[in-house]
Amino acid sequence: MKCFISYLTINIALLSFVFGQSPTAQQPANSTSEQEVRQMIEKYRTAILQRDIATLEKIWADDYVFVNAAGDVLTKTERLANIKSGATTLDSINEKENVTVRVYQNSAVATSRVTLKGQYSGQPISGEYRSTLVWLKGPGG
């Protein structure tokens, strides 16, 4: 029990540190970094809709993790395999509200609500979902 309390305390401290970070000088809405993130989101959505594996391989980091609506956790390799095989296909991705982008030094968090139609891992999906994307700017930009 003592070990669990220590573990819980450390996690709470780390989470408060992460969520306590303020965006870099609250950049204006049309900042270059925010625009770059918005462009990458559009590139990502287009690649998913078109099943553009080469683009997705470049966008997704090697340690990419995807959590679907059922709570299944997929790695980059698993997700790419699903797309290649046709088990994951999206017919449409429509924003239900504006994407909110928060820029933090070399990273950004984008949240939105989208309506999806298609299938994930061979299972049909259709409905409204929350989306959270975490972007990290690497050495190559």
Per-residue model confidence (pLDDT) at position 109: 97
Per-residue model confidence (pLDDT) at position 28: 53
Least confident of 6-15, 34-43, 53-62, 122-131: 6-15
Q: What is the dihedral of CA 109, 136, 46, 97, to 10 degrees?
A: 10
DSSP assigned state of 24: G
Query: CB neighbours (10 Å) of residue 44?
Result: 19
CA distance 39 to 86: 26
Residue pLDDT, tens place only, 78-107: 999 999 999 999 999 998 888 999 999 889
Residue 7 has pLDDT above 80, yes or no: no
For the structural domain made of 31-136, what CATH number should be given?
3.10.450.50
Q: What share of the chain is helix, strand, coil (3-state, %, to 5)?
A: 40, 35, 25
102 φ/ψ angles, rounded to the nearest 5 degrees: -120, 120
Domain boundaries defined on the chain: 31-136
